[in-house]
Amino acid sequence: MAQISPSPSASPTLSTGGCQDTQESTPVELNLMIIVAAMLCALVCALGLHSMLQCVVQCTQRAVTEPREWVASRRLNSGLKKKEMVALPTSTYANSGSPSSASGCAICLADFSDGDEIRMLPKCNHHFHVACIDQWLLSHSSCPTCRHRLKSNDSVPSLDQIVTAL
């Protein structure tokens, strides 16, 4: 029986040397991926911070350059007091039967039905469900349909009056 001796090229020492090169290249690729991911996260954070600072600067600049107009406009559309809101006229809806008189609430988009409590805004004569318009008027002082202001400019104190009162 003849034994075949292994050739020098098939020796285990040479094949393991090739594996060691492959094992050493894997951590380098992993480190490179981690560095790229960290740089990408830093870029996203920097862009977010830039956007936030730009917004703060714009809002501050607007408040500094136009304080009276800004405060007055915010106060004019700040909502009605409960006492003012309850004083607005209400009625019960009754459909006259003609299709042209059918209307609905512009807030909830539901049609009025017989017996619904509706509130009419005095300056523009738009009609809404009482619950819908009351919720709207707590945070806005204008008609949701035409944006006509329900508060007059005289009912809101000016910034000068507020400052002198303090």
Q: What is the model's pLDDT at position 14?
A: 45
Whether residue 110 sits in one domain with residue 52 = no
Q: 39-72 b/e with 16+ CB inside 10 Å = b?
A: eeeeeeeeeeeeeeeeeeeeeeeeeeeeeeeeee
pLDDT in tens, 89-111: 899 988 766 554 457 898 998 98
* Tokens of residue 83, six digits: 């006492």
Domain that holds residue 119: 72-95+103-165
Averaged pLDDT for residues 73-89: 78
**90 assigned to some structural domain:** yes
How many Å apart are CA 72 and CA 75, to the nearest integer? 5
5 — pLDDT class (breaks 50, 70, 90): low
Q: What mean pLDDT is predicted for residues 69-88?
A: 76
* Alpha-carbon distances of 82 from 4, 118, 150, 156, rounded to whole Å: 104, 17, 14, 16
Instruction: Give the residue with greater pLDDT, 88 vs 5.
Output: 88
Number of domains the chain is built from = 2
Q: What is the mean pLDDT of residues 133-145?
A: 87
Distance (Å, whole) CA 113 – CA 92: 10
Tell me the whole-structure pTM to 2 decimals. Answer: 0.47
Averaged confidence pLDDT in the chain: 76
